Amino acid sequence: MKRTLRCLLGLLALLPAHLPAQQGAAPARKQGTIYKEEVDSLIRVVRETARSRELPALGGDSVLATAKILTAMGHCHRFYDLNAGPVVRPSLQFLIRHRKADGSFGDVAATAWTVDALLAYDPEGYREEVELARRWLAARGGELPGLQPEVSKVLAQVRADVFPQHLGAAAQLVPGWLAAPDTLPREQAADALVQLVACQVANRLLDKAGQQQPEASAVFTPAQQQGFAFLLAQQQDGVFSVTVAPGKSFPDPGFTALGLLALQTKPKASRSAEEQATLEKGLRWLLDQQEPDGTIGKQVPNYTTCAAVAALARWGDPTARPALEKAQKAILGFQNIEQSGYDRRDPDYGSIGYGNSQRGDLSNLHFSLEALRTTGLPADHEAFQKALVFLQRTQNLKATNDFSGKVKDPDRQGQVIDVTPGDDGGASYYPGNSNAGYLVQPDGRSVPRSYGSMTYSLLKSYTLAGLPAGDQRVLAAVKWIQQNWDLATNPGADPALGEKVKYQGLFYYYMVLAQALDLAGLQQVSVPGPKDEKGQPTTVQVDWRKALRAQLEGMQRPDGSWLNGENGRWYENLPLLCTCYAMVALELCR
């Protein structure tokens, strides 16, 4: 049970003590022992009928049923042990008599449950039997049954209004068996006892979790709950649609993926059963949108597939695993490398774009690298090493950026710009191109300006690719962040481009800022402070999580949404998109 407790305590600590006021009427979880009478009664009828019928064990002549009953008894509120000799000893001896020469006790299920039973009563005394049985089970592979998986199933169903006391459906069978003990189906009774005891064990874990008070910053805040409620109101059966004209809209995989990702920032244990059901419907719809080639969504397939990977991976449902594996192959197929005709000397080498043979950019690349890591691709895979070639060419760092030359001017058709890398450590959109403008050098050549969202994208990408914190490329990016720290704007834009440019992609910036700093393990950012009394520069340590949370909460609209009212470029005129970005960022402000 220790593994279950370790994995789930952090999540379970967020249970209803932190529900918002409007959900105060939700049912409360019962503390302490649940299903006490039902478990006691069921054990009694199992024991009495075994004795009256002179059966060889509590499970009759079934090793599996006997092992399940013994395991449940050992973990129920009575904690039966060897001191309950006449109750448990004959059944333990029955199990040992069925041990085979290879160490098994029958099939996988019977053997796994027998191991559980032996460990519940005398782990030292049965050490040899347990070790041999475990070796036999390990040789067969696969997930093993037992009490711990049953407890995990109960915990997985816990919501803000569903608790272990609601999940013991087998309790309804007990009165009938008590009334007619001669008809007791022993295998069904064993399963019922396991279910009820799994609920008891789960409730004990929740009791223990409740004693640990989470930090205030780990709580799903009122601002997050309001954002969650706004997003929930925008969907239909878990699917988000795009409006193309008054009265005309269509379900969109990209917005659905982002919406479901944002909704899943609400801790699973704090969601109501209805909220979880909505998420399940949406995630299954998203799963159904996958094309034979592994992509999800017909427009901008790489971007949409990466967003879908984030939402589906977070879901954790085993049915999504094959889809995630196919998506990984599709994303790898989008990389601009030798297989698609690229040479290392090409500016686009190692990049990934929106899909369909489009040129790459740093925005798509960081999403892609995240999706590849999420689906299990290791950081030392060649895809990450090739991506580094492109990443370096977006960074203004002369020591590692080998790209220079003439490129098309993105703002003046038919014009070219002679570009060269700068040395401030920040990043631009793709080699030679910056949405923040250019710095013209004395020799007439231009440096693509570094700006906030791309520099954080670079730091995030370097971290995903496995670069250590002490790498000069990482240090240079962090230095730019420190010197250009700003939460009011997306920093780095050329002032000559006008005030509005400072706010382009602002909520995207907030999201990638949080992702990058969290991934890089930075708890604080050292930013320039006021000069001291001697006129010397000082630094100030900023708790970026606290600062970003305050910034976003101050920008939230009365309906719970967020909107970029200063610059709607890149769809930030849509509250749905800005709210998704804000929710993903806020989750990391724990």
pLDDT at 14: 42
CB atoms inside a 10 Å sphere around CB 420: 18
Q: What average pLDDT does the segment 283-291 reach?
A: 96
Which of the pair, 231 or 355, is modelled with greater confidence? 231
Q: How far apart are CA 432 and CA 347, in angstroms?
A: 9
Please tell me the least confidently modeled range out of 123-137, 165-179, 236-250, 571-585.
236-250
pLDDT at 335: 96
Q: What average pLDDT does the segment 138-155 reach?
A: 89
Say which DSSP state 501 is in.
G
pLDDT tens for each residue of 374-412: 999 998 999 999 999 999 999 999 999 999 998 888 777
Which of the pair, 5 or 113, is modelled with greater confidence? 113
Q: How confident is the model at residue 110 (pLDDT cuts 50, 70, 90)?
A: very high
pLDDT at 253: 96
Q: How confident is the model at residue 502 (pLDDT cuts 50, 70, 90)?
A: very high
- Give 265-330 as a DSSP string: TS-GGGS-HHHHHHHHHHHHHHHHTB-TTS-B-SSSHHHHHHHHHHHHHHH--GGGHHHHHHHHHH
Q: How confident is the model at residue 218 (pLDDT cuts 50, 70, 90)?
A: low
pLDDT at 22: 41
Helix (H, G, I), strand (E, B) or coil at 393: helix
Residues 6 or more apart whose Cβ sits within 8 Å of residue 367:
302, 303, 306, 307
pLDDT at 248: 83
* % of the chain residues with pLDDT over 70: 94
C-beta of residue 112 within 8 angstroms of C-beta of residue 137: yes
Structure tokens at 364: 């798509």
**Domain spans, the chain:** 2-210, 499-529+543-590
